[in-house]
Amino acid sequence: MPSATAVKKAAAFVALVAAALLFISCSSTPPAPPVTPPVTTPPVTTDNSPVRGVWLTTVNHLDWPPADSLAISDAAVRARVQQQALLTKLDQLQSLGVNTVFFQVKPDATALWPSAILPWSDVLTGSIGTNPGYDPLQFMLDEAHKRGIRVHAWFNPYRVTVNTAPATVAALNNTAAQRPSSVYVQHPGWVRTAGGRLVLDPGLPEVRDWITSIVAEVVRDYPVDGVQFDDYFYAESPGQPLNDNLSFRQYGQGFATKADWRRHNTQLLIEQVSRTVKQLKPDLPFGISPAGIWRNSAQDPLGSETRGAATYDESYADTRRWVQLGLLDYIAPQLYWPFGRDAARYDVLARWWADVVKPTHTRLYIGIALYKVGEPSRNEPDWLVDGGVPELKRQLDLNDELPQISGTILFRENNLNQPQTQAAVSYLRSRWAGK
């Protein structure tokens, strides 16, 4: 647990960040007509080779740490087991030629580093707020950098929990005596229920300031190689929408629709985080990994020739505009479909995104669906043909062919270890290793 001095220092830093960004976050009027600002110098990186990346998730123990490590009562032994599991993964990634890991350091409203803002993540010990006895983020950075692998700190901005079960809520309430306690305890007025989860209300300026301060803490204190948000902005379901009527009444004056106001809120967060990252470390890249479809052409003539859920309408994330405004150093759309999926063809979307970034300095990485390789699918049988290798090859070939595409990211790490992906893994090793 952080010391009282560390908490005071972090609180002062959070207040400084919030004050500096107040003029952005407290706007309750619609933005002026979009005017693209002057293009700035592209971010400086020490290595401009194409990204050969992988997402390494921590939520629900999907990739790491191993769930069975929680059964180990001895904290020191448990830490060693978790560290060894991560070393094994990094060794494998190095052998495959992976040069960038997108490491989920904030899977929900908990942290995988000793934060003065967030409690420790329960994925490490089974209990929110319990110190695991080591710093997983620092350990990852040290060991990945030894192997020549870059690490981007990956944040889920608004998620508080992955479910609303009574045991989950009880665990949050049990942090009341801790420092820091859960945001659920500290700021219950910020929390909403949506899509089967507890989430923060993106319409509240205080929420955006709080998220920005968390990113700032990591950027300030750790030698991360980048910062990434995933695609969970407004995350709701038809059966359980996010009730933000109160914040809309308070802050939505002047907007024609709630949807326009929501998109404005999401952009305000991206602006805050982008500017804060550049203030702290001007050369550090900040990116987003949205779902693959911005809008369909049937909805918008500027959209792609696809028929699927669109981030503009579903998540209220105008990712195309963020690229045009120069708010992102990179964008990594999740193109999780094969060439043969007519409703969302891989090549159609890859070329559409290439056109979007072409006149900008935003780098384009493509997220591909390693998790589908070798899995039977009635709509996407391509993933099963010859172990998925032909489909994987077509996607990687197109990524190499289009000059606007600067790399590929696999979703997700543990799928490298599944029996059905081994032919694809062998192919990746033959293609990437040694580069």
Domain extent for 325:
289-355+369-395+408-435
Residue 16 pLDDT > 90: no
Q: d(Cα 400, Cα 424) in Å, to the nearest integer?
A: 17
Q: Say yes or no: 118 and 188 in one domain.
A: yes
Q: Residue 131 has what pLDDT?
A: 98
Q: Residue 45 has what pLDDT?
A: 43
Q: List Cβ neighbours of 315 (8 Å cut-off, separation of 6 or more).
A: 231, 232, 233, 234, 235, 266, 290, 291
Q: Say yes or no: 324 and 387 in one domain.
A: yes
Q: What is the pLDDT of residues 328-355, one digit of tens each?
A: 999 999 999 999 999 999 999 999 999 9
Distance from chain centroid for Cα 186:
24
Question: What is the mean predicted confidence (pLDDT) over 255-282?
Answer: 98
* DSSP symbol at 121: P
Q: Say yes or no: 345 and 280 in one domain.
A: no
Confidence of residue 435 (pLDDT cuts 50, 70, 90): confident
Instruction: State the CATH number of the domain containing residue 195.
Output: 3.20.20
Confidence of residue 327 (pLDDT cuts 50, 70, 90): very high
Residue 6 pLDDT > 60: no
Residue 377 pLDDT > 70: yes
Residue 384 pLDDT > 80: yes
Question: Token pair 């602006």 is at which residue?
Answer: 271
Given 264, 286, 308, the domain boundary residue is 286
Q: Residue 47 has what pLDDT?
A: 62
Q: Say yes or no: 197 and 304 in one domain.
A: no
- What is the distance in angstroms between the CA of the first residue and the CA of the last residue of the chain? 41
Q: What is the pLDDT of residues 141-181, one digit of tens each?
A: 999 999 999 999 999 999 999 999 999 999 999 999 999 99
Q: What is the pLDDT of residues 175-228, one digit of tens each?
A: 999 999 999 999 999 999 999 999 999 999 999 999 999 999 999 999 999 999
Residue 4 pLDDT > 50: no
Q: Residue 44 has what pLDDT?
A: 34
Residue 392 pLDDT > 80: yes
* DSSP symbol at 198: E
Q: Say yes or no: 125 and 159 in one domain.
A: yes
Question: DSSP letters of 362-413?
Answer: -EEEEEE-GGGTT---SS-GGGGGGGGHHHHHHHHHHHHHSTTEEEEEES-G
Q: Residue 7 has what pLDDT?
A: 44
- 364 falls within a domain: no
Percent of the chain with pLDDT over 90: 88
Q: Say yes or no: 429 and 417 in one domain.
A: yes
Confidence of residue 282 (pLDDT cuts 50, 70, 90): very high
- Among 198-202, 235-239, 320-324, 357-361, the range scoring the smallest mean pLDDT is 235-239
- 182 falls within a domain: yes
Q: What is the pLDDT of residues 85-143, one digit of tens each?
A: 999 999 999 999 999 999 999 999 999 999 999 999 999 999 999 999 999 999 999 99
Q: d(Cα 266, Cα 75) in Å, to the nearest integer?
A: 40
- 41 falls within a domain: no
Closest CA to 108 of 55, 140, 165, 156: 156
Main-chain phi, psi angles of 68, to 5 degrees = -70, -10
What's the farthest any 2 CA atoms get from each other in the chain? 59
Given 230, 255, 286, the domain boundary residue is 286
Residue 11 pLDDT > 50: no
Q: Say yes or no: 278 and 294 in one domain.
A: no
* Contact (CB, 8 A) for 294 and 235: no
Q: Residue 398 has what pLDDT?
A: 98
Question: DSSP letters of 205-228?
Answer: HHHHHHHHHHHHHHHHHS--SEEE
User: Of residues 14 and 39, which shows the higher confidence score?
Assistant: 14
Q: Residue 50 has what pLDDT?
A: 97
Question: Token pair 């969302």 is at which residue?
Answer: 344
Q: d(Cα 383, Cα 370) in Å, to the nearest integer?
A: 9
Q: Residue 390 has what pLDDT?
A: 98
In 3-state terms, what secondary structure has residue 150?
A: strand
Given 238, 270, 286, the domain boundary residue is 286
Q: Say yes or no: 275 and 294 in one domain.
A: no
**Average pLDDT of the chain, as a whole number:** 91
Question: What is the mean predicted confidence (pLDDT) over 53-73?
Answer: 98
0.75 exceeded by the pTM? yes
Question: DSSP letters of 25-49?
Answer: HT--SPPPSP-PPPPPPPPP-S--S
* Contact (CB, 8 A) for 363 and 402: no
Q: Residue 166 has what pLDDT?
A: 98
User: Of residues 25 and 314, which shows the higher confidence score?
Assistant: 314
Q: d(Cα 339, Cα 137) in Å, to the nearest integer?
A: 37
